[in-house]
Amino acid sequence: MSALLLASASVLVLIGLAFVLLFRRLGSQVDLNRAPENWLEEAPAIKYRPMERLLADADYRFLASCAGVSPALLRRMRAERRRLFRSYLRCLSEDFSRVHTATRLFLLSCDRDRPDLALELLRQRAIFTCGLMLAELHLAVHVMGLGGIPVYRLIRSLNSARQNLTSAALPVAA
């Protein structure tokens, strides 16, 4: 009985805390009119090109074949590259959130119902979340040094499933 009471009390406290957090966030929401041009500012996807090579094995294979490159140096380099990859990932997430928020605000301002755009927004968010999870998986594989072909084949097939979702784009009404 007391365990049930404790569990119930904990759930209620958690719900209460969730309310406090949500209402605090509601109170400190972004000013919807502040610098919308900043939200529309292009998020240049090209700046994320280096991410494509940061976890690649080719560089390590080349370095390993060079004389004087110790395994310790290689380990340090791999760790440093993972750190950089995480920084890029954070930046990419921020850019995505900014553009996604701007699109949600656009949707709010529409004077007619736009289920197509709402679905597109949900789809884009789902694709991005899957991508982030894949990136985390990629990082975990890199940390463990499991750079073998089967692992990357798995990641590649997960990614292509995600790309199928991307290519199934809905037509966005003008």
Q: Give whichever of 30 and 143 is closer to another protein, judged by the CB atom.
A: 30
Helix %, strand %, coil % of the chain (to 5): 80, 0, 20
Is residue 171 near another protein by the rule CB under 8 A? no
CB of 143 to another protein, least distance (A): 14
CB of 75 to another protein, least distance (A): 17
DSSP 8-state class, residue 46? G
Positions 23 through 52 that interact with another protein (CB under 8 A) = 23, 25-27, 29-33, 36, 40, 42-43, 45, 48-49, 51-52
DSSP 8-state class, residue 57? S
Record the tokens describing residue 103, joined without a space. 């699109």
Instruction: For residues 100 and 96, give the distance between their C-alpha atoms in angstroms, rounded to a whole number.
Output: 6
Q: Which of 98, 102, 96 is nearest to 131 (CA)?
A: 96
Q: Give whichever of 68 and 109 is closer to another protein, judged by the CB atom.
A: 109
Which residue from 38, 58, 65, 164 is in contact with another protein, where contact means CB under 8 A?
58
Instruction: For residues 79 and 90, give the distance between their C-alpha atoms in angstroms, rounded to a whole number.
Output: 17
Q: Give whichever of 69 and 99 is closer to another protein, judged by the CB atom.
A: 99
Whether the CB-CB separation of 77 and 53 falls below 8 Å is answered with no
CB of 66 to another protein, least distance (A): 17
Taking residues 63 to 82 in sequence order and writing x for each that binds another protein by CB under 8 A, - otherwise, the string is --------------------
Cα 142 to its chain centre, rounded Å, is 18
Q: Which of 121, 157, 161, 155 is nearest to 138 (CA)?
A: 155
Q: Give whichever of 70 and 160 is closer to another protein, judged by the CB atom.
A: 160
Positions 84 through 143 that interact with another protein (CB under 8 A) = 85, 88-89, 92, 95-96, 99-115, 117-118, 120, 124, 127-128, 131-132, 134-135, 137-138
